[in-house]
Amino acid sequence: MKTTLLALLALFCITFVASAADVTGKWTGEITTGRGPQPFNLELKQAGNTVTGAITGGRGGDQMIDEGKIDGDTITFSTSRPGRDGGAPAVTKYTGKVNGTSIDFTRDNGRGPVMFTVKKQ
């Protein structure tokens, strides 16, 4: 009985890990800003539930992602930029739903959410 229970628990753990989406790779899309549509590029690397990487090619250069994680098909991370004149950093939060080869994101930088989609390259 104990062996059967351990085997079932192991199978459950493997199934849970296997069900997490894999977001490793390059993703591209477009986000609408006050300046109109702008390219949005991500380079992501996933290790277990941890996601690292950067938003690349923006006007201000690459932005490293912080606190990146994936839970099932939901990815979350944030970015930060130095504040103006030494003020508090500007933090932007991202939440996305992975759909195979695309991610539907919501970005919130404190001025209201913006939704956009990126596709895997």
Q: What is the pLDDT of residues 77-97, one digit of tens each?
A: 999 988 788 788 889 999 999
- CATH for 22-120 (2.40.128.120, 3.90.850.10, 1.10.3720.10, 1.10.10.10): 2.40.128.120
68 vs 12: CA distance, rounded Å: 24
Print burial letters for 49-65: b (CB count within 10 Å at least 16), e (below 16).
eebebbbbeeeeeebeb
For the chain, which residues make up each domain, given as ranges?
22-120
Convert the pLDDT of each residue in 11-66 to its tens digit: 555 444 445 689 999 999 999 888 889 999 999 999 999 999 999 987 778 999 99
13 phi, psi to nearest 5 deg: -65, -45
77 vs 67: CA distance, rounded Å: 5
